[in-house]
């Protein structure tokens, strides 16, 4: 479903190289690595912010690595949400539909349905500065999902949340993945978080996707020490 071959990207002095990855439809793939390993650069290259020097990215059999970001059909939830401060909640969520010139009657209906799923209908008239961290994260998730993307990218989605909001959003993401079944790439440096979500875990280090832990090996790991011994 997602096929990355011979991936090489360079951003100023930093680079990622020789990445090859195949993900199945609906797979939840977690990318783990230390700070500065290149996890966010990896996601932003997939979505189209950075152009590959070599290699290709295909989604559902269609090569997307030469397409602009808005034509890749990818949802992206950023670490710091990146909501538009001058737009109300409903307008933030509807923004991708307007960008794609979806008819107004359709995008208003889809937005209302998405807000109901995320339990934020009561916030539709507020601005981002009037929201809590957990509320902002729900809006960011809604904006990423509104186009029913084939691929959903999550960049450290819990790093800015307190404990209670983190637990709530973790369960929400589980429910969303079960309901919509997107293929997910979720970046984190928290191994407990990786264990909670992952079908497989990819380790980014030494400027590449150095190792992939498959389902069978993951099931054998019952504590963090097992992971660190394995890698």
In a 3-state reduction of DSSP, which class is residue 20?
A: strand
| Tokens encoding 58 | 């295909």
Are the C-beta atoms of residues 26 and 176 closer than 8 Å to each other? Answer: no
Q: What local confidence, expressed as pLDDT, does residue 100 receive? A: 78
Choose among 151, 206, 165, 154: nearest CA to 4. Answer: 151
* Structural domain spans, the chain: 24-53+68-73+150-231, 86-148
What is the Cα–Cα distance from 176 to 180, expressed in whole angstroms? 6
What is the Cα–Cα distance from 88 to 81, expressed in whole angstroms? 14
Q: What local confidence, expressed as pLDDT, does residue 26 receive? A: 95
Tell me how far CA of residue 59 lies from CA of 4, 39, 142, in angstroms. 9, 20, 22
Choose among 222, 207, 231: nearest CA to 14. Answer: 207
Backbone angles phi, psi at 228, to 5 degrees: -65, -30
What is the Cα–Cα distance from 40 to 159, expressed in whole angstroms? 13
Tell me how far CA of residue 175 lies from CA of 103, 145, 170, in angstroms. 28, 13, 9
Segments of the chain with pLDDT less than 50: none
Question: Which residues make beta-bridge pairs with 102?
Answer: none
Model confidence pLDDT, tens digit, residues 41-90:
999 999 999 999 999 999 999 999 999 998 898 999 998 889 999 999 99
pTM over 0.85: yes
Q: What local confidence, expressed as pLDDT, does residue 17 receive? A: 97
Cβ of 207: how many Cβ atoms within 10 Å? 16
Q: What local confidence, expressed as pLDDT, does residue 149 receive? A: 92
| Tokens encoding 217 | 């090996």
Pick the CATH number of 24-53+68-73+150-231 from 3.20.20.70, 1.10.1040.10, 3.40.50.880, 3.40.50.300: 3.40.50.300
Q: What local confidence, expressed as pLDDT, does residue 128 receive? A: 96
Tell me how far CA of residue 113 lies from CA of 14, 42, 107, 117, 146, in angstroms. 41, 31, 10, 6, 9
Q: What local confidence, expressed as pLDDT, does residue 14 receive? A: 97
Q: What local confidence, expressed as pLDDT, does residue 222 receive? A: 84
């Amino acid at each position: 479903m997602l096929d990355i071959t011979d991936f090489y990207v360079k951003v100023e002095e930093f680079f990622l190289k020789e990445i090859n990855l195949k993900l199945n439809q609906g797979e939840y793939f977690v990318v783990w690595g230390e700070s500065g390993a290149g996890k966010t650069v990896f996601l932003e290259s997939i979505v189209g912010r950075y152009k590959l020097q070599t290699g290709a990215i295909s989604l559902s059999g269609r090569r997307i690595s030469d397409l602009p970001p808005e034509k890749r059909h990818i949802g992206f939830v950023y670490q710091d949400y990146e909501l538009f401060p001058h737009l109300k909640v409903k307008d933030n969520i509807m923004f991708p539909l307007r960008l794609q010139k979806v008819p107004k009657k359709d995008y208003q209906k889809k937005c209302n349905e998405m807000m109901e799923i995320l339990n934020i209908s009561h916030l539709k008239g507020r601005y981002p500065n009037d929201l809590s961290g957990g509320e902002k994260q729900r809006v960011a998730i809604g904006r990423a999902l509104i186009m029913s993307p084939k691929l959903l990218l999550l960049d450290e989605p819990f790093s800015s949340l307190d404990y209670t909001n983190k637990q709530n959003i973790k369960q929400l993401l589980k429910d969303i993945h079960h309901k919509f079944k997107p293929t997910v790439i979720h970046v984190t440096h928290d191994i407990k978080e990786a264990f909670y979500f992952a079908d497989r875990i990819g380790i980014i280090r030494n400027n590449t996707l150095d190792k992939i832990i498959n389902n069978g090996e993951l099931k054998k790991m019952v504590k963090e020490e097992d992971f660190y011994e394995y890698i």
